[in-house]
Structure 1
Amino acid sequence: MSVESTESPVAEQEICVKCGICCDGTLFNHAELEPGEMSSGSLPKKIEQNYRKMGEKERFVLPCQYFEGKCTIYDQNRAIVCSAFRCQLLKDFSKGRITKYDADKTVLNALKFRNEIFELYKRIFGVDTKLSFRQLLTEIGKMPVPPAEQSKELALLKAQCNIYETLLIKNFKSIKTFKSMIDTTVEQ
């Protein structure tokens, strides 16, 4: 996740508060910090605890420890990226390409679909996971070939994850962001 703007109109803030998929590990594995931000001493403790350096880039691991269904420090001091990042949905909304109603509906549908994926994961593996979507993808990728009775459901789970990732790219990630994800190895 990288910074593009520092302005957040009220309607965009309302959409963000309902969403949070840039914070909860659905879109990204990490959020980039501004140069020198870590050494400034102004970051909240849990963000500092999840700090990682990769080359010249400084970042913190997602999901954010301050996200509990919504940001618990939204109106407090936080990393610059937390208020500056604007997903594709917000960009489309700010340019009048979609209405607030459609943006809210897109967020609601994205959260609902993700929850369905987690329910299928739980049904297949019998675990109520606290993984983020990105972590779930990693876990699925590590899995050995399952028993025959799980193969069909696992194939369905993988297909749903692929469809969901496509919807995330279409509605929340810019093509530029998507290309950078492919070109960059991400440290977790």
Structure 2
Amino acid sequence: MSPEEFSLAAPRLCTACGMCCDGTMFQIVRMQPGEVPAELGRMGLKIRSRGGEYYMEQPCSALKDNRCTVYERRPVRCRLFNCQQLGRLQTGETTEAEAMELIVETRALVEQVKSLITQCGLREDGQALMERYERVMFTPVDKALEPELARTRDELDETMRKLKLRLNREFRLPPNSH
């Protein structure tokens, strides 16, 4: 794929996906040397500190309708990140249509996980998907007293397992590749 074609296709895929910003793929984004946390906070990003390290919580508060509202001033890690689908598109290993199909299928899995989390009694609370999943799964359930809830949690666990596998195989970068 030519650089010109890629520069047109990539934004279409990113705005159809958004999983790197909406709390699906990541829970936090670590700030990099030279970044000014207070400046990012003034832009409306949820900046936190732990052990002297600054990070941005996900889902990103700058993401509106799968578009970054601070795109030109976004954090360094956001600028540098290209998911596996963008990499494969750039090298010609996949087409835009194939990548889009995978995004649509994966977004459907995300929606299924969110629905199951809600069925388990946890409403949307602005936390990353994995945090919400873990809150549901760590809440004790007596299978004898709540068999339907136990079945729903089993389905949630299986669906989340499929989603994590898909994200790791198709979207997240392998460890030590960035």
Instruction: Give the aligned partner of residue 124 of structure 2.
Output: 129
8 Å Cα contact 2:41/2:47 also seen in 1: no
**Residue ranges of structure 2 left out of the alignment (5+ in a row):** 1-5
Q: Name whichever of 134-143 and 67-76 sits farther off.
A: 67-76
Contact residue 88 and residue 171 of structure 1 kept, 8 A: yes
Identity of aligned residues (%): 20
Shift of 1:120: 2.2
Q: Which runs of 5+ in 1 are unaligned?
A: 1-7, 181-188
Deviation at 1:13, TM superposition (A): 1.9
Supply the distance in 1 between the matched residues of 2:7 and 2:31 (Cα, whole angstroms).
22
Query: Among residues 15, 23, 28, which one is paired with 2:21 in the alignment?
Result: 23
User: Please, which of 33, 36, 44 is the counterpart of residue 35 of structure 1?
Assistant: 33
Alignment match, 2:166: 167
Measured at CA, do residues 162 and 121 of structure 1 come closer, stay the same or move farther in structure 2, by a change above 3 Å? same
CA distance in 2, matches of 1:139, 1:42: 28
Secondary structure, in 3 states, of the residue corresponding to 1:65?
Answer: coil
Closer, same or farther: CA 18–25 of 1 in aligned 2, 3 Å? same
> What's the TM-score, normalizing by structure 1?
0.77
Asked whether 1:95 is paired with 2:94, we answer no
Q: Shift in Å at residue 66 of structure 1?
A: 1.3
Quote how far apart the aligned CAs of 1:42 are: 6.2
Deviations along 1:43-95, one digit per CA (max 9) or x if unpaired, are 65212xx2234456432111101113312415542222233211111111111
The alpha carbon displacement at 1:141 in A equals 3.3
Give 2:62's aligned amino acid. Y
TM-score normalised per structure 2:
0.81
The equivalences for 1:55-70 within 5 A come to 55=51, 57-70=53-66
C-alpha distance 66-176 of structure 1, shift in aligned 2 (>3 A):
same
Match of 1:52 in 2: 48
Question: Is the alpha carbon distance of 1:102 and 1:59 closer, same or farther for their aligned partners in structure 2, counting shifts above 3 Å?
Answer: same
1:119 CA displacement: 1.6
For the residues of structure 1 that align with 2:20 and 2:47, how far apart are their CA atoms?
17
CA distance, structure 2, for counterparts of residue 109 and residue 13 of structure 1: 18
Alpha-carbon distance in 1 for matches of 2:16, 2:70: 12
Q: Which residue pairs with 2:110 in the alignment?
A: 114
The answer to whether 1:85 aligns with 2:81 is yes
Structure 1 residues 73, 177: CA separation in 2 closer, same or farther (over 3 Å shift)? farther
